[in-house]
Structure 1
């Protein structure tokens, strides 16, 4: 992840959210169901990854890979026979990364009733043919909702960077667990050190 910083896209190139926005719809089949008869979460995640790839590739005009997925929370189950709709767009751009927001809804095709099933955020990284990170165009924000989405994603990037810095550097023998023992008391954990 490349953090939060002022971007200078190549050739002053910027794209709007609309330039790469995607919506797909797919009927959920019995072959997509888990043992309880609901649509398998893994199937939905695979579709979301495809949509995120499509949006990021459209924005960057190159191949993209998934770097991270933030908070996949299944709010409502999806039933066999429902029509799933995934709406996705670029919410944030860094130098080589993009955060794609995806909203998943399911529609009962008999009644027309829809339900929000989940929202998630995929961090995608643009790659050149040789596998090196590729600079992505900036993002044109046209409304208050775009500002909210961009700043929410920017805060998440900042949080992730800080968390990685705090814990990643201490994963070896240098990690001082004693510094965190007091904080652990508020959790459902039993320490047997």
Structure 2
């Protein structure tokens, strides 16, 4: 799902899945996809914060279908919300069989909560985020509602 966003708030990474990413059946390990997602989430968060960011939380991941060796995996990481020291990143993974006429399909998506840290490894404040485009505003409102629900559950 490509959205209209400020390009500084989104990173798109892609790679072709190789045999070393997969099990004996040629199906890519979920952990390989998750690692790719985490790398994209960290990259967009660090670009936004201009500082190191680490993963604090990954919300539920549901694989909608298997990813195979030879598939092109496109990972889109988008800033959707910024708190005081944290950055909420929506990561969507599309998979495409390059030898097929089929369009790419969304294999999975998840929210990553990244925390901005200083040189001592302590959380540091992040600049405020103001969504600009309609897509950014929609994603921001969804993320804010989701974060509010998470906070309520913790209480």
The TM-score normalised by the length of structure 2 is 0.91
Query: Match for residue 113 of structure 2?
Result: 123
Distance change (3 Å), C-alpha of 1:17 and 1:68: farther
Structure 2 Cα separation of the partners of residues 17 and 99 of structure 1:
16
- What does residue range 11-90 of structure 1 map to in structure 2 within 5 Å? 17-90=6-79
What is the deviation of 1:17? 4.0
Point out 4+ residue stretches in structure 1 off by more than 2 angstroms.
34-37
SS of the equivalent of 2:125 reads: coil
In structure 2, which of residues 93, 98, 103 is the aligned counterpart of residue 109 of structure 1?
98
Count of aligned positions: 150
5+ residue gaps in structure 2? none
Return 5+ residue gaps in structure 1 as ranges.
1-15, 166-193
- Aligned equivalents of 2:97, 2:85: Cα separation in 1: 39
Aligned partner of residue 118 in structure 1, secondary structure: strand
> d(CA) in 2 for partners of 1:112 and 1:82?
13
**RMSD (Å), alpha carbons:** 1.4
1:153 corresponds to which of 132, 143, 146: 143
Q: Give the superposition deviation at 1:112.
A: 4.8
Larger Rg belongs to: 1
Distance 1:36 1:82, change over 3 A: same
